[in-house]
């Protein structure tokens, strides 16, 4: 936090004008703000992993996820993580079943995978809802993706979740 003595010594060296005063005040506010909390994205290690209603095997199974399925961790409790998926469904997963490998999932009915980052590039493939990719590179609002079968291409970030992974 910016102290009074720091501000006093600063204003003694530099005359305090309205503009400098505003700059000092904005800087002090920015320094006092907490650092942004970055989302923690993970993927699932293997097929047929249960998502539960609470942190433990005694809780109800809500649904099942497959290998590479991307998840966002929103809380932790022991060896369990509370997660949210691309459909905004929430549940709990046992953390040893997670990888730090980044993955994205197509969140629209159909999306074009293109040869370059823009709508002026040729469509390489049409991809359906729920297909998972590895993010490779980002250029503005476009993300280069690679499918597990080796196919690569570019897609608009607003067609995948999470869109801010890289």
**Which pLDDT value is given to residue 33?**
46
**Which residues have CB under 8 Å from 78's CB, separation 6+?**
55
**Which pLDDT value is given to residue 165?**
86
For the chain, residues classed under CATH 2.30.30.40 are 40-99, 104-161
What is the pLDDT averaged over residues 61-81?
97
* Burial state string for 46-62 with b = 16 or more CB within 10 A and e = fewer than 16: eeebbbbeebeeeeeee
Structural tokens at position 96? 């040893």
Is residue 153 scored above 70 in pLDDT? yes
What is the pLDDT averaged over residues 76-92?
97
Beta bridge partners of residue 146, listed in sequence order: 134, 152
Structural tokens at position 94? 């046992």
CATH number among 2.30.30.40, 1.10.357.10, 3.40.50.300, 3.30.750.24, domain 104-161? 2.30.30.40
User: Which carries the bigger pLDDT value, residue 27 or residue 147?
Assistant: 147
Give me the long-range contacts of 138-147 (CB less than 8 A, separation at least 24): 138/166, 142/117, 142/118, 143/104, 144/117, 145/104, 145/113
Angle at 70 (CA atoms; ends 66, 74), nearest 5 degrees: 120
pLDDT tens for each residue of 17-57 = 666 655 655 555 544 544 345 689 999 999 999 999 999 99
Of residues 11, 94, 91, 6, the one with CA closest to residue 54: 91
**Which pLDDT value is given to residue 9?**
46
Kind of pairing, strands 123-128 and 110-114? antiparallel
**Which pLDDT value is given to residue 166?**
85
pLDDT tens for each residue of 88-122 = 999 999 999 999 999 999 999 999 999 999 999 99
**CA-to-CA dists, residue 108 to 21, 100, 112, 151, 162, angstroms:** 49, 24, 10, 19, 13
> CB count, 10 Å around CB of 91?
22
* CATH class held by domain 40-99: mainly beta
Beta bridge partners of residue 80, listed in sequence order: 77, 94
């Amino acid at each position: 936090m910016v102290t009074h003595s720091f501000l006093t010594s600063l204003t003694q060296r530099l005359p305090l004008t309205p503009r400098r005063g505003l700059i000092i005040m904005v800087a002090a506010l920015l320094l006092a703000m907490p650092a942004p909390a970055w989302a923690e994205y993970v993927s699932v290690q293997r097929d047929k992993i249960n998502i539960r209603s609470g942190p433990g095997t005694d809780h109800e199974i809500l649904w099942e996820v497959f290998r590479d399925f991307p998840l966002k961790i929103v809380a932790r409790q022991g060896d369990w993580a509370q997660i949210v998926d691309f459909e905004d469904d929430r549940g709990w997963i046992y953390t040893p079943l997670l990888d730090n490998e980044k993955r994205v999932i197509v969140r629209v009915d159909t999306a074009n995978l293109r040869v370059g980052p823009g709508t002026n590039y040729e469509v390489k493939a049409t991809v359906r809802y729920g297909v998972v990719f590895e993010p490779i590179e980002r250029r503005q609002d476009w993300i280069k993706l690679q499918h597990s079968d080796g196919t690569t291409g570019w897609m608009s970030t607003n067609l995948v979740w999470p869109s801010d992974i890289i």
